Structure 1
Amino acid sequence: MVNFNGSIRTESDSKLTVNNRGYKYGDALFETLKVVNGKIFFWEDHYFRLMSSMRILRMDIPMNFTMEFLEAEILKTLEANDLLHASARVRLNVDRGEGGKYLPSDTTDVHFNIAAEPHHEPFYSIADNANYVVDLYKDYFVAPGLLSGLKSNNKAMHVIGSIYAKDNDLDNCLILNTDKQVIEALNGNLFLVKDGKIKTPPLEEGCLKGVMRKQLLELLVKDVNVIVEEASISPFELQKADELFITNVIKGIVPITKYRKKTYGSAYAQSLVGKLNAKLRLL
């Protein structure tokens, strides 16, 4: 069951048509949420990122799009799918409905739809001895700017990059910007650990304004034993690192074990997972 503008429907009766602007032009935004027993992880951060992104795309934000209203609609969707007391992955999508060409018609209104599916990992963990191999994706590059940091439906590079990764027996790929700096992975932000220093690319370089990225930066600044900086990461630095890991809200922290001929440990990533789960218990 899906939630279409507050109405619970079957997928076949979802009222999404080929004229939807999200389908025709990528004129849509989305948030991927992790929900456990009716608790939306980091909901406030997701909500304010969505509102900021809607303003950047010049969407007319409906007056009823409050944090409380959308949270209630998410929980209603979970209940309709018998997932209110379970672990779930939720996608909240907003679009400008139908009408117009590139220029929306004067009658277009912002719509939303919500879909939910089971997710069988309620808390974050890192599997022992798990292999996770990455390489650079160099067919296309991200041009830094406000649009590059949006979680929009325009994900052509990520789709093609994921196909490239599968064809080359990789678990993921790292993306470069037009300055040839490493900015993120296909499905999350990137952190590098080297000699007690932790780096992650700054938002200005074109990476996603990740919700999990924000959570980890808040945890890391409290650790007096490490130096944290938002700074450029060159491809050359990847092979000098002690650890590399990818972050997103669904998986939490995913250590990279191999990049080309270099292998990495995951000791610091393992320690962060414990702190992250402790933070969740306080929400």
Structure 2
Amino acid sequence: MTFEDNIGTKCIINGEILPAEMLNKYSDEKYTACYEVIRIIDGIPLFYDDHFTRLKSSVQKIQNELEISNKDLRNQITKICEVNNLVNCNVKVLVLLYEKEQITLLHINKFYYPSQKEYDSGVKCCTIKLSRSNPNIKMINISYKAEIKRVTAENGAFEVLLVDDNNKITEGGKSNVFFVKGEKIYTSPEEYVLKGITRQYIIDVCVKLGYEVIETLISVDQISNFDAAFITGTSINAMPIKIIDQYTLNSSENIVTQKVMKGYNSLVAAYIEGNSNKK
């Protein structure tokens, strides 16, 4: 395990504030690592309780109960931002597991928030034959991460879309993917993907807007049949796709995509406002 995505000067290990270099002490491959990346907006961890629930579930599937409490982790997230002098960033929470040992680490995670130009024009994606070993558990997988990074760079892509042995698109390397046809929105069934927290809130927004959400796998050769596509994630919210391999989509100008993006952004703004007194 490496900590190359850390950009902070301080970290927190089992509740203790330490120099970030101390993270390297836990690079031993003996550890299994469950993790969450939480976006911090104006000092508030976005959808914190959802992240905590998913982290707890991931740990339970591998070992037993998560030892750190909801309240303690929330306080540590506030502290890691304070000691690194940041109010808008991404915090990575890792729980390292080895036999009966549990170690909780927090650091400031490298982040990129897309520009308005990227939202206005859409981004390029490419496909790759690859799948997560267990998509429902958010675990560190070094070889998976390296392959995603390599393919993204080689293709000059913003994101890669994972394709299974049947040529079906399951999810993005670091995101979930949705396709739009008329007023119907398609996305992969839960059992094939990491159940993204942004993904679930996007589905909620789609339903409230009156759009039918259909959970099914889409083949690569079906892409041209759709009006638009977008990816969702912690740092990107809902991002229109302009290109998938050789296919071009006018996603950023699609009215359904625009309404979903606006609806989700309004949901985030309301969450931040409603939790501003909890900082």
Letter of the 1:30 partner, please give it.
Y
**How far apart, CA to CA, are the structure 2 residues paired with 1:114 and 1:243?**
37
2:235 to 240, 247, 250: 250
- Judged with a 3 Å threshold, the aligned counterparts in structure 2 of structure 1 residues 158 and 120 are, in CA distance, closer, same or farther, namely closer
1:261 to 246, 265, 277: 246
**How far apart, CA to CA, are the structure 1 residues paired with 2:169 and 2:104?**
33
2:158 to 130, 147, 171: 171
Contact 2:122 2:239 in 1 (8 A): no
Corresponding residue for 1:48? Answer: 53
Matched, 1:194 2:199: no
Secondary structure at the aligned position of 2:235 is classed as coil
Structure 2 length as normaliser, TM-score?
A: 0.84
Q: Can you list the C-alpha shifts for 1:155-185, whole angstroms capped at 9, x where unaligned?
A: 5234213202211333322102344321011
Corresponding residue for 1:71? Answer: 74
Number of aligned residue pairs: 259
**% same residue:** 22
Corresponding residue for 1:11? Answer: 20
**How far apart, CA to CA, are the structure 1 residues paired with 2:112 and 2:176?**
22
**How far apart, CA to CA, are the structure 1 residues paired with 2:73 and 2:234?**
18
More helix by share: 2
Contact 2:35 2:140 in 1 (8 A): yes
- Judged with a 3 Å threshold, the aligned counterparts in structure 2 of structure 1 residues 126 and 29 are, in CA distance, closer, same or farther, namely farther
1:132 to 119, 123, 136: 123
Structure 1 length as normaliser, TM-score?
A: 0.83
**How far apart, CA to CA, are the structure 1 residues paired with 2:82 and 2:165?**
44
1:223 to 186, 200, 209: 209
**How far apart, CA to CA, are the structure 1 residues paired with 2:75 and 2:234?**
20
Deviation of the 1:72 alpha carbon: 0.4
**How far apart, CA to CA, are the structure 2 residues paired with 1:126 and 1:223?**
25
Unaligned runs of 5+ in 2: 1-9, 272-279
Deviation of the 1:281 alpha carbon: 2.7
**How far apart, CA to CA, are the structure 2 residues paired with 1:257 and 1:14?**
38
Corresponding residue for 2:106? Answer: 114
Deviation of the 1:135 alpha carbon: 2.1
**How far apart, CA to CA, are the structure 2 residues paired with 1:118 and 1:176?**
26
**How far apart, CA to CA, are the structure 1 residues paired with 2:34 and 2:47?**
18
1:136-155 alignment runs, 5 A limit:
136-138=127-129, 140-142=130-132, 147-155=134-142
Corresponding residue for 1:100? Answer: none
Deviation of the 1:142 alpha carbon: 4.5
- Give runs of ≥4 in structure 1 deviating > 4 Å: 117-121, 123-126
Secondary structure at the aligned position of 1:90 is classed as strand
Contact 2:128 2:163 in 1 (8 A): yes
**How far apart, CA to CA, are the structure 1 residues paired with 2:135 and 2:111?**
28
Cα RMSD over matched residues? 2.3
Corresponding residue for 2:83? Answer: 80
Letter of the 2:76 partner, please give it.
E
Deviation of the 1:134 alpha carbon: 1.8
- Judged with a 3 Å threshold, the aligned counterparts in structure 2 of structure 1 residues 169 and 242 are, in CA distance, closer, same or farther, namely same
1:57-68 alignment runs, 5 A limit:
57-62=62-67, 65-68=68-71
**How far apart, CA to CA, are the structure 2 residues paired with 1:132 and 1:187?**
14
Range with bigger deviation, 206-215 or 108-117: 108-117
Corresponding residue for 2:38? Answer: 33
Matched, 1:277 2:278: no
